[in-house]
């Protein structure tokens, strides 16, 4: 059983999608209302949104949730069974408190059970796989804000607790799955580090939502463990060949970067092109998105026959995710790539209208790199420019 959760700003779009009212949602007949909480009977999407917005007037006013149990476990489910599954998930979700390596709570409990929410059952049109979608108000009925700090980890833990309780999966299987996921994340962190440093390594691990406890030794760290919620994993449990242990971690970083260096040389040799650099005027200065900073995520772009990686602020990526919702737009990946390329200054669109306000165009040379412009607003301008150039193709097949 898999579960996802995220706080979002596009609440009405989310509710329209999960309720089947979105114009871009294919096969709305495969969508069924499961349960509403603290809502009048059978409200439409706008009615639900109006009540949520009134209760939580903030930028990210809605928590979006998705729950996908294994098809073999839900083959004979009735609507009452789906309601019970949701109630079980909420009960586990609301119980969770996240603690750091010192046992200090850094993410307090939520109160989804006493919040406005709407839950819907979807069936994939091709595979027939059933799954639940929910939109939850960020504030409960007592006016308290539901915590969204590392909410994706909270959703994973709740799903695992429900699966174990129902006998769908064992604790040992979940432990192995989590260990594999952490190992993959740590390997990606090592690949992204420009140089080896324990401090940088630990900071990037914490930025991923994990905790880390390091055991000091005479010549540096003797060992370390990674925390996911209340569960801890020794480094020796992660990956294969003990390559992520304290004694071998630097060698692993060296090997990963040796492989990357060889691959980069091969790409340059075959492509025969100069290294990709951001397209900006010499007298303009843009922020450096080629190195990792806290609150950023790695994004790969292929440009001029070469793949480059950038580190985009999470808030900026949220803008692009909101603008180019993969569930509604067919060419969301192309649009996102174009928007990111514009944002980092990798490419230019000198004649594309951004469609802001009463119109306008991007042929003012510095529209991408204005130093006095808010980063989020610049991201929105890049998204509009990408949409103007490529056009959005809804899943209904009509181009707009």
Higher pLDDT, 108 or 372: 108
- Within 8 A by CB and 6+ apart from 361, the residues are 351, 352, 353, 354
The answer to whether residue 320 scores a pLDDT higher than 80 is: yes
Calculate what percentage of the chain has a pLDDT beyond 70.
Answer: 82
Topology of the domain comprising 2-169: BirA Bifunctional Protein; domain 2 (3.30.930)
The answer to whether residue 91 scores a pLDDT higher than 60 is: yes
Instruction: Identify the pLDDT of residue 57.
Output: 66
Instruction: Identify the pLDDT of residue 350.
Output: 44
Nearest to 90 by CA among 7, 11, 18, 155: 155
Rounded distance, CA 316 to CA 289, Å?
12
Instruction: Identify the pLDDT of residue 372.
Output: 45
* Cβ(117)–Cβ(78) below 8 Å: no
Instruction: Identify the pLDDT of residue 270.
Output: 52
182-214 pLDDT per residue, tens: 999 999 999 999 999 999 999 999 988 899 999
Instruction: Identify the pLDDT of residue 313.
Output: 86
The answer to whether residue 109 scores a pLDDT higher than 60 is: yes
Read off the pTM.
0.57
The answer to whether residue 102 scores a pLDDT higher than 80 is: no
Instruction: Identify the pLDDT of residue 136.
Output: 97
Instruction: Identify the pLDDT of residue 28.
Output: 67
Cα 64–Cα 69–Cα 73 angle in degrees, nearest 5: 155
Calculate what percentage of the chain has a pLDDT beyond 90.
Answer: 42
Q: What residues does CATH 3.30.930 cover in the chain?
A: 2-169
Q: Strands (DSSP E) along the chain, which ranges?
A: 2-8, 31-37, 62-68, 98-99, 105-107, 115-123, 130-140, 211-217, 220-228, 231-234, 296-303, 306-313
56-90 per-residue burial string, b: 16 or more CB within 10 A, e: under 16: beeebbbbbbbbbbeeebbeeeeeeebbebbeebb
Give the pair of three-digit tokens for residue 146: 């539901």
337-350 pLDDT per residue, tens: 899 988 888 776 44
* Cβ(326)–Cβ(395) below 8 Å: no
């Amino acid at each position: 059983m898999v579960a996802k959760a995220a706080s979002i700003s596009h609440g009405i779009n989310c509710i329209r999608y999960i309720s089947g009212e979105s114009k871009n949602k294919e096969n709305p007949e495969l969508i069924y209302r499961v349960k509403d909480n603290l809502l009048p009977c059978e409200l439409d999407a706008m009615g639900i949104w109006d009540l949520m917005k009134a209760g939580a007037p903030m930028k990210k006013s809605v928590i979006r949730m998705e729950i996908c149990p294994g098809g073999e476990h839900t083959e004979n489910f009735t609507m009452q069974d789906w309601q019970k599954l949701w109630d079980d998930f909420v009960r586990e979700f609301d119980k969770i408190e996240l603690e750091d390596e010192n046992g200090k709570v850094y993410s307090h409990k939520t109160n989804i059970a006493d919040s406005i929410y709407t839950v819907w059952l979807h069936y994939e049109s091709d595979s027939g796989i059933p799954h639940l979608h929910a939109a939850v108000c960020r504030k409960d009925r007592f006016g308290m804000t539901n915590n969204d700090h590392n909410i994706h980890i909270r959703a994973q833990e709740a799903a695992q607790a429900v699966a174990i309780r129902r006998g769908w999966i064992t604790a040992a299987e979940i432990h192995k799955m989590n260990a594999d996921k952490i190992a993959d994340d740590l390997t990606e962190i090592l690949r992204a580090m420009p140089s080896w440093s324990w401090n940088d390594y630990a900071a990037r691990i914490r930025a991923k939502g994990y905790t880390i406890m390091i055991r000091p030794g005479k010549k540096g760290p003797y060992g370390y463990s990674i925390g996911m919620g209340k569960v801890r994993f020794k480094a020796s449990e992660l990956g294969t060949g003990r390559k992520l242990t304290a004694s071998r971690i630097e060698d692993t970083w060296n090997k990963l970067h040796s492989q990357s260096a060889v691959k980069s040389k091969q790409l340059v040799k075959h492509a025969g092109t100069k290294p990709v650099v951001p397209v900006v005027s010499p007298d303009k200065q843009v922020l450096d998105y080629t190195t990792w900073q806290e609150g950023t995520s790695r994004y790969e772009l292929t440009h001029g026959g070469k793949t480059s990686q950038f580190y985009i602020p999470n808030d900026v990526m949220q803008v692009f995710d909101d603008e180019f919702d993969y569930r509604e737009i067919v060419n969301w990946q192309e649009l996102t790539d174009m928007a990111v390329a514009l944002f980092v200054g990798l490419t230019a669109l000198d004649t594309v209208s951004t469609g802001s306000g009463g119109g306008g165009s991007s042929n003012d040379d510095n529209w991408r790199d204005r130093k006095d412009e808010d980063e989020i607003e610049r991201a929105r301008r890049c998204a509009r420019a990408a949409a103007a150039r490529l056009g959005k193709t809804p899943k209904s097949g009509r181009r707009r």
